């Protein structure tokens, strides 16, 4: 018997899943690099501001991409 095709097999859906994964992964990388940078900068308030701004920008672009549709 032939199993019904899953929606995840659709190339457009797979591309969206992959894109979402890259966005979430890049947020994690920026966050952890920012945490490590706090050791080198020394000023925790400046470092946390940079981390927060970076995460906010990634979320803004990630969510904004879906709102345009």
The pTM for the full model equals 0.57
pLDDT digits (tens, 9 = 90+) for 23-57: 778 877 877 877 787 778 777 677 777 777 777 87
- Is pLDDT of 8 > 70? no
- Is pLDDT of 3 > 70? no
Task: Look at residue 4 in the predicted model and tell me its pLDDT.
Answer: 55
Buried b or exposed e, range 24-41, using 16+ CB within 10 angstroms: eeebeebeeebeeebeee
Task: Look at residue 10 in the predicted model and tell me its pLDDT.
Answer: 82
- Is pLDDT of 18 > 80? yes
């Amino acid at each position: 018997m032939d199993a019904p095709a899953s929606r995840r097999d659709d190339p457009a859906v797979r591309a969206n899943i992959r894109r979402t994964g890259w966005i979430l992964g890049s947020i994690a990388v920026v966050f952890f690099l920012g945490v490590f940078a706090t050791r080198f900068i020394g000023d925790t308030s400046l470092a946390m501001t940079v981390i927060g701004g970076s995460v906010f920008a990634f979320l803004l672009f990630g969510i904004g991409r879906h709102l345009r549709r």
